[in-house]
Structure 1
Amino acid sequence: MTGSPADPPARSRPRLTVLPLIALIFYDVSGGPFGIEDSVRAGGGALLPVLGFLVLPALWSLPEALVTAELASAFPTNAGYVAWVSAAFGPAAAFLVGFTKWASGTLDNALYPVLFLDYLRSGGGLALAPPLRSLAVLVLTAALTYLNYRGLHLVGLSALALTAFSLSPFVALTVLAAPKIRPARWLAIDVGAVNLRGYFNSMFWNLNYWDKASTLAGEVEEPRKTFPKAVFGAVGLVVGAYLIPLLAGTGALPSETAAEWTDGFFSEVGQRIGGPWLRVWIQAAAAMSNMGLFEAEMSSDSFQLLGMAEMGMIPAIFARRSKHGTPTFSILCSATGVVILSFMSFQEIIEFLNFLYGLGMLVVFAAFVKLRIKNPDLPRPYRIPVGTAGAAVMCVPPVVLITTVMCLASARTVIVNAIVVAAGVALYYGVEHAKRRAWVEFLAPVPPPPDSSHGSTTASDAADVEDVRAGLLADEPADEAPPRSHSAVQMTAFTGNSETATRSLMKSEP
């Protein structure tokens, strides 16, 4: 099952443009201020979270966004960061990063049905008994998975509408809170109430996943131009969506309420500042936001699996697309993981996924620096305006933050993550064994048809880019570029036109 004549041709599928991609990146990372409430309680007041959302975007979010913009423009493939790590360190490291980051994303996605129900319950709302709550999580997951199946372009347009609606009540909240704000409340901190583990995990979770959208690069219109614009547009949107409601809420309410700031508390903030109508509006926005968060994460996770299948890392069945252009089996695999993991608590999920995500990001930053050293002439349509030394220095603050979060993890988290990593290593060797024994089918990129077009670059420029990429992925020295015909063989793995590879493979097999 490596493809189907019904698979939509790459050029006939609607492509993501700048605004839908900004919305998807926004939901990959944020989705609005829902979920930042716990940083106030864990920070013992407003001071630490306000400082966090002022400083950490520059130290953490911006470097990750810059790395994503550079490497996604250089590797416009659905494999995203898996391709970057493969180019730098080879397929074994790339597989392990892909596995841990997919597991982290699936854990992250398991949060959103839970958060949706938390917001329904907050402020005296709907509270479900445990059996009904489990059923509600299952129904929500199934419904949102089906929407994702219907098409990435539809998900992108929906994300635009959901962004506008999810942020709209906070405009009203900010306006109503303005006369009640006392700036001194932003400086409040109860040192004895500070929980550094909870604080750093909350901040880290709310500001990470910038690289997730790179797994959609193969579905983007002119990715080499579109991706950098979308990433930088999303940075401003995310920071504003966090900081403005946080300043409004903590500035308008007494500092003594810091202990009340738990998941879903923004609806209570709306109740106290504007009344029941604003509480209901925020709860509705939270519900819609969680839909967008789920859809964006599901898209990134499933297209990552598709990209890995296109590179021949996992079985070809994960590259099979539906008539809507979506990776059917990859979506089902991700949805199954969400249902299995949704029984965990909010804080457990955050700590586990942060540790897993941190492991993957350490390798991604190392791959970024190594590619700068290994092949400085790799065509990068967007290039961070610093040299190799500057690129390495830029990665120091996020690496320090990742190390801090991981050092604060509980022993249980370390053990669970060690088990996950060991499972990833075992799975890699199991997949390689299955490949050698031909137990299941794997894709191998094949030449595209003569009239195939690849993005907006000229044919010669695109060929030059693909020559370098093919050499990198084959782990060949940069000064020993393969002949042009070899580049053509590998080209489809990096342009998003995987259907050509799939159908040509089918025709060539008995």
Structure 2
Amino acid sequence: MDSSAPAKKIGLLGIIFFVFSGMIGFDGLAATAAVGPTVFGWWAVVIVVFLIPNLLMNSELGTAFPADGAIYDWAHKSLGPRHAARVAWFYWINVPFWMPAVYLIASGILSLLFFPDAPVWVQTCLAISMVWFTVFICNAPAATGNLVNFVGGASKVIVLLALVIGGISFVSVHGPAQELTLESMMPRFDDGFRYAPTLVYLIVGAETVACMGGALKNPRRNIPLGLFLALSIVLVLYSLAIAAMIVALPNDQLSLVGGITQTFSILFGDHPAGRALTVSLSLIAIVALVTYIVPWLMASSRAAAEGADANEMPAVFGKRNASGSPVGANVLTGVVATIALVIYTFMSANADELFWSLFAFASFLLFVTYFFMIASFVRLRETHPDTPRPFRVPGGMIGAWIVALMQAFVLAIACVVLVFPDVMDGRISLTESAPTLIGIAGSVILIEFFVRRLIPAKQSDTPTAG
């Protein structure tokens, strides 16, 4: 065989399945359903003001500047090493706080199924055990990733379809617990708006596809088309699954950590067959949650290891085992996740509050990275005007600024609401927001300490050439 033959490129179908594998998750599903029927009105707003601009921006960045590091590389090229290092830090550090939040859902499902009266500490211990199981899997040879993606993708589809089919069947027999009318679905700043940032959280991540621009077949057409098609299907599945949760039980009875199992138990009934179906589907949901975390931990740890190789993160992140897995970053993730679960358990009154504190904190850190990406997008238009752009956001610099500002506006509101959930009602509770504020302040101080210590000031504003 000719070794110089070009590698087979990824087509439109490959992009769609990549999005399905990496972007469908259940961790924000119950919180999104807790917004209530108005969630569908807010979906429309988020799609127009955030999702479409985000897909346009990622399509341009992915086709013009294909790079494995995505946000990190774009920041390096446009904003310089220090900002790129901040991106790497924020991208990594959100995982040790997001992972335990996801596993609190898994442990909440187990508790609801087998020991419903167990205290929050039991769920915390279960979540910690899942954290270290994930670290163990990620330290194994990378070949396990293919099996994980296959099992995870199948599990997600099974659970979502079960919610959709069960919801349709339930409504046809019993009627909805909450009416879904045009009036009830209109956007409103009611009590459920505190969970509205999950709408943004559920649809970010398009840059993971866009960064493969150089390996894609006909990227000018397939990146934007693939992202729009895939996310349209994801939005339909999400919307139908969320609708099933809304029609099954009222908002005030929906648990953020056990909402999926609650919904299954109502949709399929309390008789033996229904109970068996609820238990089986709930266990499949747990498998989906675990397999959902594994590729994200692998990606964030490898990015951190590359940062350590470039002396932009502490050397411990670059430690690898015999199979090449970034064992240093993986173990550090497990340590931080365990500490976070223990500390936040002391600060929280119940499992739902514990989940939301960790989820809000992790989401805030993740959203920060997207501010850097937006800035990189505008800056690259100015610093690299002659770089070929197979796909270009229309409207010149004015169009680029409009796309950037629309996303930044939505992200800014989401960040504020994550920290101060009742701010739209004119209420700010420092007591309620303290865990999130403390976590954000501690993370920023830690990141700035290492960024300024490891990267000389003279390099801080020197973008990468090319």
Same-fold status (TM-score > 0.5) = yes
- Is 1:305–1:319's contact at 8 Å kept on the other side of the alignment? yes
The secondary structure found in structure 1 opposite 2:94 is helix
- Is 1:27–1:296's contact at 8 Å kept on the other side of the alignment? no
Equivalence for 1:401: 410
In the alignment, structure 1 residue 267 sits paired with structure 2 residue 261: yes
- Is 2:152–2:287's contact at 8 Å kept on the other side of the alignment? no
Out of 356, 363, 380, the residue aligned to residue 354 of structure 1 is 363
- Is 1:73–1:224's contact at 8 Å kept on the other side of the alignment? no
Equivalence for 2:196: 200
Instruction: Report the TM-score when normalising by structure 1.
Output: 0.70
In the alignment, structure 1 residue 179 sits paired with structure 2 residue 202: no
The secondary structure found in structure 2 opposite 1:371 is helix
Whole-angstrom CA distance in 1 between matches of 2:252 and 2:395? 43
Q: Which amino acid aligns with 2:413?
A: T
Out of 69, 72, 79, the residue aligned to residue 82 of structure 1 is 72
The secondary structure found in structure 2 opposite 1:185 is coil
Out of 80, 83, 94, the residue aligned to residue 93 of structure 1 is 83
In the alignment, structure 1 residue 418 sits paired with structure 2 residue 441: yes
Whole-angstrom CA distance in 1 between matches of 2:32 and 2:394? 34
- Is 2:166–2:267's contact at 8 Å kept on the other side of the alignment? yes
The secondary structure found in structure 1 opposite 2:255 is coil
Within 5 Å, give how 1:94-493 maps onto structure 2.
94-122=84-112, 128=118, 132-149=122-139, 150-151=141-142, 152-177=145-170, 179-180=172-173, 184-186=179-181, 187-188=183-184, 194-195=190-191, 198-211=194-207, 217=212, 222=216, 225=219, 231-250=227-246, 252-253=247-248, 257-263=250-256, 264-275=258-269, 276-309=275-308, 311-314=310-313, 318=317, 324=323, 326-343=325-342, 344=344, 345-408=354-417, 409-410=419-420, 411=430, 412=434, 413-432=436-455, 474-476=463-465
The secondary structure found in structure 2 opposite 1:342 is helix
Q: Which amino acid aligns with 1:114?
A: L
Whole-angstrom CA distance in 2 between matches of 1:385 and 1:147? 44
In the alignment, structure 1 residue 53 sits paired with structure 2 residue 43: yes
Q: Which amino acid aligns with 1:391?
A: A
Out of 51, 66, 72, the residue aligned to residue 62 of structure 2 is 72
- Cα separation, partners in 2 of 1:260 and 1:169, compared to 1, 3 Å: same
Equivalence for 1:444: none
Whole-angstrom CA distance in 2 between matches of 1:158 and 1:383? 36
Instruction: Report the TM-score when normalising by structure 2.
Output: 0.76
Q: Which amino acid aligns with 1:144?
A: T
The secondary structure found in structure 2 opposite 1:107 is helix
Q: Which amino acid aligns with 2:30?
A: E
Identical counterparts, % of pairs: 17
User: Shift in Å at residue 114 of structure 1?
Assistant: 0.9
- Is 2:95–2:362's contact at 8 Å kept on the other side of the alignment? yes
Whole-angstrom CA distance in 1 between matches of 2:218 and 2:311? 24
- Cα separation, partners in 2 of 1:133 and 1:403, compared to 1, 3 Å: closer
- Is 2:55–2:228's contact at 8 Å kept on the other side of the alignment? yes
Whole-angstrom CA distance in 2 between matches of 1:192 and 1:397? 20
Whole-angstrom CA distance in 2 between matches of 1:326 and 1:354? 26
User: 1:133-171, CA deviations, whole angstroms, 9 ceiling, x for partnerless residues?
Assistant: 444223212222233333244443343333333334224
The secondary structure found in structure 2 opposite 1:86 is helix
Whole-angstrom CA distance in 1 between matches of 2:86 and 2:148? 28
Equivalence for 2:347: none
- Cα separation, partners in 2 of 1:190 and 1:292, compared to 1, 3 Å: same
- Cα separation, partners in 2 of 1:134 and 1:388, compared to 1, 3 Å: same
User: 1:242-266, CA deviations, whole angstroms, 9 ceiling, x for partnerless residues?
Assistant: 101222343x447xx2211222223
- Cα separation, partners in 2 of 1:56 and 1:83, compared to 1, 3 Å: same
Deviates more, 1:133-142 or 1:102-111: 133-142
- Cα separation, partners in 2 of 1:184 and 1:129, compared to 1, 3 Å: closer
- Cα separation, partners in 2 of 1:198 and 1:94, compared to 1, 3 Å: same
Whole-angstrom CA distance in 1 between matches of 2:218 and 2:73? 16
The secondary structure found in structure 1 opposite 2:294 is helix
Whole-angstrom CA distance in 1 between matches of 2:185 and 2:237? 23
Please list every run of 5 or more consecutive structure 1 residues that lacks an aligned counterpart in the other structure. 1-10, 437-471, 482-510
User: Shift in Å at residue 338 of structure 1?
Assistant: 2.4
Q: Which amino acid aligns with 1:424?
A: I
The secondary structure found in structure 1 opposite 2:282 is helix
The secondary structure found in structure 1 opposite 2:387 is coil
- Cα separation, partners in 2 of 1:83 and 1:282, compared to 1, 3 Å: same
- Is 1:169–1:281's contact at 8 Å kept on the other side of the alignment? no
Whole-angstrom CA distance in 2 between matches of 1:347 and 1:235? 25
- Is 1:79–1:308's contact at 8 Å kept on the other side of the alignment? no
- Cα separation, partners in 2 of 1:238 and 1:473, compared to 1, 3 Å: farther
- Is 1:321–1:327's contact at 8 Å kept on the other side of the alignment? yes
Whole-angstrom CA distance in 1 between matches of 2:329 and 2:66? 19
User: 1:434-457, CA deviations, whole angstroms, 9 ceiling, x for partnerless residues?
Assistant: xx9xxxxxxxxxxxxxxxxxxxxx
User: Shift in Å at residue 115 of structure 1?
Assistant: 0.9
Q: How many residues align?
A: 420
- Cα separation, partners in 2 of 1:387 and 1:326, compared to 1, 3 Å: farther
- Cα separation, partners in 2 of 1:323 and 1:67, compared to 1, 3 Å: farther
The secondary structure found in structure 2 opposite 1:314 is coil
- Is 2:33–2:242's contact at 8 Å kept on the other side of the alignment? no
Whole-angstrom CA distance in 2 between matches of 1:132 and 1:248? 29
Whole-angstrom CA distance in 2 between matches of 1:142 and 1:351? 22
Cα RMSD for the two superposed structures:
3.8
- Is 1:369–1:392's contact at 8 Å kept on the other side of the alignment? yes
Whole-angstrom CA distance in 2 between matches of 1:388 and 1:121? 53
- Cα separation, partners in 2 of 1:37 and 1:135, compared to 1, 3 Å: closer
- Is 1:78–1:303's contact at 8 Å kept on the other side of the alignment? no
The secondary structure found in structure 2 opposite 1:262 is coil
Whole-angstrom CA distance in 2 between matches of 1:292 and 1:36? 16
